[in-house]
Amino acid sequence: MWEPSHVYGHLDRATSFSSLSWWSKRNVEVDNWAVAYRHQLEASNQLIAPNARFFTELAALYIGDVKQSRLDPDYIQELVALPALRKRWREKLMVTPEAESETDWTSLARAMRSLPAGVQRWTTKHMVGMCGVGKFKVRWGYDTSAACPCCREFEDHLHVPRCMAPSTSAEWDRRTVALELWLDTQVTDPAIKHALLSLLKGVRDPSLLSI
C-alpha cells in the first residue's frame, strides 16, 4: 500500500544528487523545470505565468479573465459589495466621488480591524445614524412617533445636536463652554482649539462651519 511522505526541498544544495532518495531526486527535477520555465517567461517578457484551471477544480474565480490562485476574502467582498455601496452613496448623498478618492481606506480598515467586534458594530451603526432616536425607535417598534421629545420635530441622528428647543440649546452652550475651558486647562494649541470648536459649530449649524 502506498503511503505519502514529506520531501524536503533543495536538498541538492547540501547533498550530491546521486545520494538523494528517489523522491528527493524527483523534487529537484521539478524545481529545475520550474526555474527553467520562469527563465523562459522572463525572456519573453511574461512576468505572470498562465494559471490554467485544473480538471480537479470544481470551481474557480476569474477576475478580468484571469484565474485567481489565491482567494482574498477582502478583495472578493470589495468586488461584490463596493459597486452597490457606491450607488447608495450617490443616491443618499453620503460620500461624494471626490471624498472617496481622498479617503485613506487602507488605514481606515486597519483601524477598524484593531477594534473589538462589538465596537466595530457600534461604530458602523453610529456612522450611519442607527441609534436610539425617534426614527429608529419607530422602526424597531419601541415607539409610535418619531418626534423629538423636546421640540416635536422629526428626530434622527442629525437632529439631536441641532435641536433648537430652549432646553437643548442651553445644554449645548453649557457643554461647549465646559469643553473650551477644559481645552484651556490642557494648554491646547490655539489652532487646534479653534478647529475643534469650529467643527462643533458646524455640527450644530452647518452654515457656520469654517476653519
Q: Please name which of 200, 210, 202, 208 lies closest in space to residue 176, comparing C-alpha atoms.
A: 200
pLDDT for residue 58:
82
Residue ranges of the chain with per-residue pLDDT less than 50 = 211
Confirm if 13 and 20 have CB atoms less than 8 A apart.
no
pLDDT for residue 186:
95
pLDDT for residue 101:
85
d(CA 20, CA 12): 8
Predicted model pTM: 0.54
pLDDT for residue 210:
55
pLDDT for residue 46:
74
pLDDT for residue 209:
63
d(CA 39, CA 50): 14
pLDDT for residue 140:
93
pLDDT for residue 211:
46
For residues 191, 195, 198, 200, the Cα torsion angle rounded to the nearest 10 degrees is -140
Q: At 66, give phi and psi (nearest 5°).
A: -115, 120
pLDDT for residue 136:
94
